[in-house]
């Protein structure tokens, strides 16, 4: 299986994972936990439907309610917060208000960097790295970095953050393992995992000239000139395939190499397909 076919298989597997994924997890209602920043609170006030709704806790740990204003919520249990809300409602609005608060906590992961749709994604059961990369618009980068917080934080984590585990996944090696039916590098994601896809790809090449979709492409080892041209949409009718050249940096100097279609490309190469003249 060549490099181009391996890439196709990766995307097939990612697509199958998307189709087979279970429906989004319903938010788990929790009453024995503490409120955290960015939680969603499901608040029920008896006989007050306009007040019974969902409220979001801000990044500062505070939440704003109608009539009574802003309260510090983070660090309190749902029962403690409900007692404070009940107290404030009773101070000037309702007689003996009945308030119930539950945490509606949705599991999620974060994707940043070299993808077309970075952001937050709901964590579905058995979601893997390749599945979320497919959803985020993975563009063939050679590596992904997973940062897993160990302190219970639900916010995006940085690689150098204290108490975080950093998992590096070589996506090129993952493609090779697919040939053997091994999926050990397809990491199972956990709540609040942060995935970084480096924007700089050391395996990137560039294709210009008489091709249908010139641009930059990330390629595995032993990719041929012909396969690189296929990634760029294939040659146009005016392409002079017998005169393809590779611009390559060798020992700090730019060299121009007359290339054959079966030659292997190297990271950083620029393939130039000239126009055919009659």
Tell me the C-alpha to C-alpha distance, in Å, between residue 23 and each of 29, 124, 126: 18, 7, 11
- The DSSP output letter for 84 is H
CA distances from 81 to 32, 96, 217 (A): 12, 16, 53
* Bridge pairing between strands 28-30 and 69-72: unpaired
Spatial distance between the Cα atoms of 66 and 94, rounded to a whole number of angstroms: 13
Query: How confident is the prediction for the chain on average, in pLDDT?
Result: 82
Query: Quick one: average pLDDT of 186-202?
Result: 86
**Element spanning 81, H or E:** helix 78-90
Q: Higher model confidence: residue 243 or residue 39?
A: 243
d(CA 36, CA 57): 7
With 80 as the cut, is the pLDDT of residue 240 above it? yes
Sorted by sequence, the CB contacts under 8 Å of residue 237 that are 6+ apart come out as: none
pLDDT at 277: 76
The neighbour count for residue 55, using CB atoms within 10 Å, is 19
pLDDT for 206 beyond 60: yes
Say if residue 6's pLDDT is above 70: no
pLDDT at residue 152 in the model: 66
Tokens 């003249």, located at residue: 277
Which domains are assigned to the chain? 28-104 (3.30.1950.10), 107-197 (3.10.560.10), 204-273 (3.10.560.10)
Q: Looking at 18-22, 133-137, 200-204, which range is the least confident one?
A: 18-22
Q: What is the mean pLDDT of residues 50-62?
A: 89
Inter-residue contact 217 to 225 (CB < 8 Å): no
Nearest one of 191, 46, 202, 62 to 127, comparing CA atoms: 191
Check if the beta carbon of residue 6 is closer than 8 Å to that of residue 179: yes
pLDDT in tens, 144-183: 899 988 766 666 777 777 778 889 888 877 777 767 777 7
């Amino acid at each position: 299986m060549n490099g181009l076919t391996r890439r196709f298989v990766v995307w097939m597997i990612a697509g199958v994972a998307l189709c087979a994924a279970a429906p989004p997890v319903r938010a788990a209602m929790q009453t024995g936990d503490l409120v955290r920043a960015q939680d969603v609170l499901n608040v029920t006030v008896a006989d007050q439907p306009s007040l019974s709704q969902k409220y979001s806790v801000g990044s500062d740990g505070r939440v704003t309610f109608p009539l009574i204003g802003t309260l510090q919520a983070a660090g309190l249990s749902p029962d403690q917060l409900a007692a404070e809300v009940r107290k404030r409602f009773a101070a000037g609005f309702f007689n003996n208000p009945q308030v119930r608060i539950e945490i509606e906590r949705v599991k999620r992961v974060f994707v940043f960097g070299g993808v077309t749709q970075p952001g937050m994604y709901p964590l579905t059961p058995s979601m893997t790295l390749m599945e979320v990369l497919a959803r985020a618009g993975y563009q063939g980068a050679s590596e992904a970095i997973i940062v897993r917080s160990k302190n219970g934080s639900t916010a995006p984590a940085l690689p150098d953050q204290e108490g975080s585990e950093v998992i590096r996944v070589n996506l090129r090696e993952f493609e090779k393992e697919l040939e053997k039916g091994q999926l050990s590098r397809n990491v199972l994601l956990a709540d609040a995992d942060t995935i970084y896809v480096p924007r700089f790809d050391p395996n990137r090449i560039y294709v210009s000239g008489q091709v249908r979709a010139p641009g930059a492409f990330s390629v595995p080892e032993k990719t041929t000139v012909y396969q690189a041209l296929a990634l760029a949409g294939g040659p146009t009718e005016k392409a002079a395939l017998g005169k393809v050249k590779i611009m390559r940096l060798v020992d700090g100097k730019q060299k121009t190499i007359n290339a054959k279609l079966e030659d292997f490309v190297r990271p950083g190469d620029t393939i130039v397909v000239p126009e055919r003249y009659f």
